[in-house]
A and B are shown apart, each in its own frame.
Chain A
Amino acid sequence: MPRDYSLLGPDAARAVESGLAAADWYHSDVPRKEMKELMTRTDGPAIRDTILLYGVMALCLGFGIWLWPSWVSAPFWLAYGVLYGSASDSRWHECGHGTAFRTPWMNNAVYQIASFMIVRNPVTWRWSHARHHTDTVIVGRDPEIALMRPPAAARVALNIIGLPDALAGWRRMILNASGRLAPEEASFIPESEQPKVIRTARIWVAIYAATILAAIATGSVLPLIAIGLPRLYGAWHHVMTGLLQHGGLADNVTDHRLNSRTVLMNPVSSFIYWNMNYHVEHHMFPMVPYHRLPDLHARIGDDLPPASPSILAAYREMMPALLRQFRHEDYFILRTLPPTARPYRGEFHQPEA
């Protein structure tokens, strides 16, 4: 039977019945003292990275505007676009977990800015992401499955320029600004939080309206190149890295070693992605801040499948699996564990009979 990914469909009901929803997940053993040390929050690394991020964005924006409309401005816009349309994805993610900074207002400030740039309502997506952590790649439960089976090739390709996701975000913004929520949103956002969804959407509409007015008044697309459109022309990096998180791996299992992928990346991609390439580690222990994930990786590496050594290697592993899923949607890559690892256990990846 083909998979039904909707949150209100038959697979969702089956996941609840079979005990796959809100199940107990596998965790590698880490003594409490060590885990406490790994979870400890500090402001320093995220302040450094945020100054670097917004500083480089400001420079690129300045040069881009200064050199506009010459083609010489293009490299500055491309760099600005990736920081706006892709680095905002990882900042949204880390600050949404509240782990990037120790100081709450710093997490919140970067979370709000990043949510606007990536066009994800900060309230809605906090709840959707909580569900993604409860029910990672459980069909019908996880609202954030990027690569469904069989893969929707056109949708994935268009997302490289942000299209379906950003358009959906803007459409949803307009719906929310009109005072309404989509039925799926209402299924996972508690009523007490729903007015916040609407308030944020209205603020965003005001910002976009001001940007569009500025474009009309100046007779130039420049304001939109700076605000809004970078979500499209700068999206490719977060799509490239994001597809690797779970693509081609198992679904409906309760062991992140089976359904998530850790990929070692070059320093620039790691900065843009804020270490989310340590994806198995992040899912297993979401309390560990991004800047300690390499340490966590070193600590539990012998209990995990080997990390893919590069983005290219990870694509070489994932792409053939995706191609096979076009014909056999049940196909997936079963990642092998090192001999030092605790084995995959039936009760962790099969619904109880």
Chain B
Amino acid sequence: METLERLLLGHPFFTDLDPAIGRILVGCARNLRFAPGEFLFRENEPANEFFLVREGNVALELHVPGRPPLVIGTLGAGEIVGASWLVPPYRWNFDARAVAATRAFGIDAACLRDKCEADHHLGYEMMKRLLPVMVGRMQAARQQLLDVYGHPGT
């Protein structure tokens, strides 16, 4: 447990986290490995765990009938995979597939939600870390929507 705590708090997502909060959080975490091609989660499954990537590469995919799946983003070391665990109905909207051998921490969503509910200080810490990531993702998604390199008018 001691090493897991040290490793977990070494992840960029937890930079400068109060060690007291870290000790609480570690109870929700586990260490995971994914082989290339293995799914971290699939669309519509319950979103009961999210992931902090330590190394490797994960593709977020959307499947479209009659076409190869569309990769809408890739996430690598230091990044967080999954947001649907934050908001009801707690189900994944995409598939997440490891495209390289990937190591990640899995954080039990229900466990973390309960801890946030119980300890608003912890909850606020989590919000300050999650919100910038989410806003950044939203902005990136908007930029992709713009299709800036496309041929306007065609």
- Do A and B come together as binding partners? no
Chain A residues within CB distance 8 Å of chain B: none
Chain B residues within CB distance 8 Å of chain A: none
